[in-house]
Amino acid sequence: MKAANEMTLAELLANRTEVVFQGHVIRSARGVGWDLVYHTKLSIGSAKGFPDLVLVRFRDKRVVYMELKGLKTAIGPEQQRWIDGLVACGQEAYIFRPCDEERVQEVLR
């Protein structure tokens, strides 16, 4: 039986902050061969709600859009509209939280 203050790896991953999660996703993407990884550092002047990351991989001609959220951070209506609009136009677009680690890695493969 684990002590009350011990967490499983899955629990630790699920509780990462959005910033830590984002850094991990960027490193993972680069590590598995994504050629271009774009993240707007400051959203000033950007379209409201545009996804956090745009990933491009030449070998399989993929472009993936990701909105990354903290465990309890709400998804804004503009963010949802961007994701829904991209998906409706046949693009790969996702909203992920730290607890979605396994799915993130599947998408990045």
Q: Which domain holds residue 91?
A: 9-108
Residue 88 lies in a domain: yes
Is 4 inside any structural domain?
Answer: no
Pull the structure tokens for residue 13. Answer: 């991953």
Count of domains forming the chain: 1
How high is the pLDDT of residue 11? 65
Contact 94, 68 (CB under 8 A): no
Within a domain: 3: no
What pTM does this model have? 0.84
Environment class of 84 (CB within 10 Å of its CB; exposed 0-12, middle 13-18, buried 19+): exposed
Q: Tell me the pLDDT of the chain (109 aa) as tens digits.
A: 555 556 666 566 667 789 999 999 999 999 999 999 999 877 777 889 999 999 999 999 999 999 999 999 999 999 999 999 999 999 999 999 999 999 999 999 9
